[in-house]
Structure 1
Amino acid sequence: MKRHHLVLQAITSQDRHLVARQIQDALTLTQGWVEDARFYSNKMTTIRFTLVAREVPVFVAKLHECGLAIDDLTREGGGLSTVSAQGDVEISGSIQITFLHNDPDLKQIIPAVPG
């Protein structure tokens, strides 16, 4: 059986730390978990997650309650409308959040590796 993968996207002006926490809390509420998180400066974050298909509507509703307007970019196998019908099947997914703000780009200091 083919495993479904949700691709979600959101744009927000909310604090990036708050949004990351809200996504983590929504996953915990729906018995899901974070597989990986990548923070690209302070402009964008991508979070990969897994949760049970029947919990997808609850997860998305929780994110809407937090003020995130979610766009479903899923191409194959349907998206939010068809995934929840899969019942107890684990669904992998990712959500990309772009942060709108006037803060300067977050600089990361990467130490030189002798070599």
Structure 2
Amino acid sequence: MRPRPISFQAITRQDRHQVMELVQKAISAAHGWVEDSQFYSNKMTTIRFVISAGKCSEFRQTLTESGLMVEMPNGFEPADSDDPDAELAGTIQLTFIHDQPDLRQTIPAVPG
């Protein structure tokens, strides 16, 4: 049986580039990889990832120790798996609090 997906939320005033690098390193340290990411201006990012089931607590602890306020909104705290090498899918939503204006992206005109 495949483990239930996990979901994290984090709010921070830290620089978004540094936080993104931190999250990527935490995922790699948890023997995982990023599957997808969505950027919503410079205010929020959602990352879909896979990590080793046995490294979930370490992943969360790494983020918390770096100053991120990490919550699990679905209340699901994964227990140690019978197979710590099993793949565990997850998402993390990062909200950035700052006074910077929204990023403007220039979208080229589509011919036609």
Q: Percent identical across equivalent pairs? A: 47
8 A Cα contact 1:52 1:90, kept in partner: yes
Structure having the higher helix fraction is 1
- Give the structure 1 partner of residue 91 of structure 2: 94
CA shift, 1:50, in A, is 0.2
Equivalent position SS for 1:35:
strand
Unaligned runs of 5+ in 1: none
For 1:2 and 1:32, the matched residues in 2 are separated by 16
- Find 1:85's aligned residue among 80, 86, 90: 80
Is 1:47 matched with 2:47? Answer: yes
For the structure 1 residues 88 and 74, does the alpha-carbon distance in structure 2 shift closer, same or farther, using more than 3 Å as the test?
farther
The TM-score with structure 1 as length reference comes to 0.90
1:6·1:73 contact (CA, 8 Å) conserved in 2? no
Structure 2 residue corresponding to 1:103, chosen from 91, 100, 103: 100
Q: What is the match of residue 33 of structure 2? A: 33
CA shift in 2, pair 1:89/1:74, >3 Å: farther
Return the alpha-carbon distance in structure 1 between the equivalents of residues 61 and 3 of structure 2.
Answer: 23
SS in 2 for 1:111: coil
What is the CA deviation profile of residues 51-81 of structure 1, one whole-angstrom value per residue up to 9, with x for unaligned ones?
1111001000100111111110236xxx22x
Which residue does the alignment assign to 2:109?
112
Task: Give how far 1:29 is off.
Answer: 1.1
3-state DSSP of counterpart to 1:45: strand
Match of 1:69 in 2: 69
Mapped partners of 1:105, 1:67: distance in 2: 24
For the residue of structure 2 that corresponds to 1:85, the secondary structure is coil
* Count of residues paired in the alignment: 110
